[in-house]
Copies of this chain bind each other. A is one copy, B any other.
């Protein structure tokens, strides 16, 4: 048997890289053995065993007693990603709710809390403090399951860059240092989270990543993802990567013009898609009290509700036909409130796409328009961003999570 060529220093770049490689390989497989990992990554068995021991010590992998001979190499103990230990905290702050979730290393959503409330009625600092309170509650519950945060991801409804919400018209936020305010509020509630890495992104981007990683897209890797909320968020995924644009401000399909003479939008322009297909505009137009009420009215074939949904579908089709002509995606995914309303949105929407997309690939029966999976949302996507960091550099992030566990 070959001797492993171990790097000299335990914290060397090579070993860090290989720890990540082994952890990601187990993560992708779900269940595997040391021998199968060695065959897959091209390292020797002893090298893989040494890396696996460290990942077991760090609480990132677990062994199960059973043996497993379905893959290359001799049977061995089964390895799995740990469902305790380092976890991702994901927090979505939207106009009319806050969701916090804690996902374990397998990506499974283990704890989830949502509070519905109008975040427009409070200042940004107060909203972020409220989000921190909800997150702290979720972390308490997660601690009972043996999960400790390796980081936090924030999903926010606006233009986000450098940890700051540059602009969120539907919340009335401008230049809000969201990461810092959230971290301060969380640390005040739970001192052990001091120094916890916090990242932030647009909520539409986070929802698209959740769909990509946990949804039912199959082979689709290039798609447009719309999230219908008070605002209409959009995200573009090309070959499995978010297309963020030159300044991180891509995907703002809610402000694509669909009728230049239309109503004034919160962004200052006229006739933005949001003024027809955003939740507030749609409910007002339909005379409905909420999304369930709207679906009930449409189901009862109430003319005003049907007309509002047909109009929203037509405007979605107009904006999406332009986006599809520009980007040529394989699919368009509708998330947020839209999956509940698709029976009534889809006819006008698909008609516009069939008429206006020049490639001819968007016929109504082509199946390119699809609802987001029920299991995906922006909070889960934000949590998954933390998990991606853990997979990319297990040593750093497992230690951060252990620090957070000390209280």
A288 to chain B, nearest CB (A): 25
User: In the complex where A249-B359, A267-B358 touch, is A326 in contact with B325 (Cβ < 8 A)?
Assistant: no
Q: How far is the CB of A324 from chain B (nearest CB, A)?
A: 9
Q: A222: shortest Cβ distance to chain B, in Å?
A: 4
Q: Per-position contact with B for A123-153: 1 when CB-CB < 8 Å, else 0?
A: 0000000000000000000000000000000
A309-340 vs B, Cβ < 8 Å mask (1 yes, 0 no): 00000000011011101111110000000000
* Contact residues of A between 222 and 271, Cβ < 8 Å to B: 222, 234, 236, 238, 243-253, 255-260, 267-269
Task: Assess whether A252 is in contact with B326, with CB atoms less than 8 Å apart.
Answer: yes
A250 and B318 form a contact (CB under 8 A): no
CB-defined contacts of A167 to chain B, threshold 8 Å: 358-360
A246 touches B330 (CB 8 A): yes
Partner of A255, one of B268, B325, B329: B325
CA distance A321 to B268 in the complex (A): 13
Interface centre among A169, A325, A356 (most CB of B within 10 A): A325
Please indicate the chain B residues that have their CB under 8 angstroms from the CB of A319 in the complex. 322
Number of A residues near B (Cβ < 8 Å) is 47
**Oligomeric state, in copies:** 2
Within the complex, the shortest CB–CB distance from A279 to chain B, in Å, comes to 18
**Contact residues of A: prevailing secondary structure:** loop
Q: Once bound together, how far apart are the Cα atoms of A250 and B166, in whole Å?
A: 29
Alpha-carbon separation in the docked complex, A355 to B265 (Å): 11
User: Roughly how many angstroms separate A248 CA and B238 CA in the complex, as a whole number?
Assistant: 12
Identify 29 residue pairs between A and B in the complex whose beta-carbon atoms are under 8 Å apart, listed by A's number. Answer: A159-B359, A166-B359, A167-B360, A169-B358, A222-B245, A222-B246, A238-B238, A246-B328, A246-B330, A247-B328, A247-B361, A248-B328, A250-B326, A251-B326, A252-B325, A252-B326, A252-B358, A252-B359, A255-B325, A255-B357, A256-B325, A257-B318, A258-B260, A259-B260, A260-B318, A268-B355, A269-B321, A269-B356, A319-B322
Chain A residues within 8 Å of B, Cβ to Cβ: 159, 166-167, 169, 222, 234, 236, 238, 243-253, 255-260, 267-269, 272, 318-319, 321-323, 325-330, 355-361
